[in-house]
Structure 1
Amino acid sequence: MQRHFTLKQFRYFLAVSEAASVAGAARMLNIAQSALTKSIQDLEDTLGAALFERSSRGMVLTQQGWRFQASARKVLSAVAEAGTVDNDRAETLSGNLVIGVTSLVAGYYLAELFARFARSHPSVQIQVVEDDPPFLEHLLINGELDLAIMVSNALGEPHALVVEELTRSQNRVWMASSHGLADRPTLSLADCAAHPLVVLEADRIEGVLRAVWSRYGLQPKVMMRTGSLEAVRSLIGVGAAITILPDFLYRPWTLDAQHIEARSLGDAVPTIDVGLVWRRGSRTREVVQEFIEIAREQARSGRMR
Structure 2
Amino acid sequence: MSITLRHIRYFLATAEAGQISRAAIDVGVSQSAVTAAVKQLEAYVGAKLFERHAQGVALTLEGSRFMRHARNIAASVNEALHFEQEPARKIRGTVRVGVTYTVAGYFLPQHQVRFARNYPDVNIELREAPRASIEEDLINGRLDTAVLLTSNIENSDQLDSETLIRSRRRLWLALDHPLTHVEAVHLGDVAREPYVMLTVDEAAKTTGRYWTDTGLRPRVIFETSSVEAVRSMVANGMGVTILSDMVYRPWSLEGQRIETRVVSEPIPSMDVGLAWARKADLSRATRAYRDFMSLTFNGADHVLAT
Q: TM-score, normalised by structure 1?
A: 0.86
Alignment counterpart, residue 177 of structure 1, candidates 175, 180, 186: 175
Q: Hey, what does 1:284 align to over in structure 2?
A: 282
* d(CA) in 2 for partners of 1:166, 1:216: 29
* d(CA) in 2 for partners of 1:15, 1:43: 14
RMSD: 2.6
Q: Hey, what does 2:211 align to over in structure 1?
A: 213
Q: Hey, what does 1:126 align to over in structure 2?
A: 124
Structure 1 residues 240-280: Cα deviation after superposition (integer angstroms, max 9, x where no partner): 11111101001236646633222221221111100101111
Shift of 1:70: 2.9
Distance 1:90 1:69, change over 3 A: closer
Q: Hey, what does 1:274 align to over in structure 2?
A: 272
Q: Hey, what does 1:39 align to over in structure 2?
A: 37
Is 1:100 matched with 2:94? no
Unaligned runs of 5+ in 2: 302-306
| Structure 1 stretch displaced more, 67-76 or 22-31 | 22-31
Secondary structure of 1:265's aligned partner: coil
* d(CA) in 2 for partners of 1:161, 1:136: 11
Structure 1 residues 23-60: Cα deviation after superposition (integer angstroms, max 9, x where no partner): 54344334455544443444455556654455775444
Q: TM-score, normalised by structure 2?
A: 0.86
Q: Hey, what does 2:189 align to over in structure 1?
A: 191
Alignment counterpart, residue 299 of structure 1, candidates 280, 294, 297: 297
Q: Hey, what does 2:151 align to over in structure 1?
A: 153
Moved over 6 A (4+): none
- Name the amino acid aligned to 1:158: S
Structure 1 residues 216-239: Cα deviation after superposition (integer angstroms, max 9, x where no partner): 111211111121222222322322
| Structure 1 stretch displaced more, 81-90 or 277-286 | 81-90
- Name the amino acid aligned to 1:8: R
Contact 2:196 2:240 in 1 (8 A): yes
- Name the amino acid aligned to 2:10: Y
Distance 1:62 1:228, change over 3 A: closer
* d(CA) in 1 for partners of 2:69, 2:84: 25
Contact 1:233 1:256 in 2 (8 A): no
Contact 2:252 2:258 in 1 (8 A): no
Shift of 1:102: 0.6
Distance 1:109 1:85, change over 3 A: same
* Count of matched residue positions in the alignment of Structure 1 and Structure 2: 300
The 5 A counterparts of 1:179-258 are 179-184=177-182, 186-252=184-250, 255=253, 258=256
Distance 1:61 1:237, change over 3 A: closer
Shift of 1:293: 1.7
Alignment counterpart, residue 74 of structure 2, candidates 72, 76, 79: 76
* d(CA) in 2 for partners of 1:149, 1:254: 27
Distance 1:262 1:170, change over 3 A: same
Secondary structure of 2:178's aligned partner: coil
* d(CA) in 2 for partners of 1:287, 1:93: 6
* d(CA) in 1 for partners of 2:271, 2:219: 26
The 5 A counterparts of 1:22-33 are 22-33=20-31
Contact 2:98 2:134 in 1 (8 A): yes
- Name the amino acid aligned to 1:264: V
Q: Hey, what does 1:19 align to over in structure 2?
A: 17
* d(CA) in 2 for partners of 1:55, 1:201: 29
* d(CA) in 2 for partners of 1:112, 1:280: 27
* d(CA) in 1 for partners of 2:87, 2:161: 31
Q: Hey, what does 1:142 align to over in structure 2?
A: 140
Secondary structure of 1:166's aligned partner: strand
Contact 1:153 1:208 in 2 (8 A): no
- Name the amino acid aligned to 1:297: L
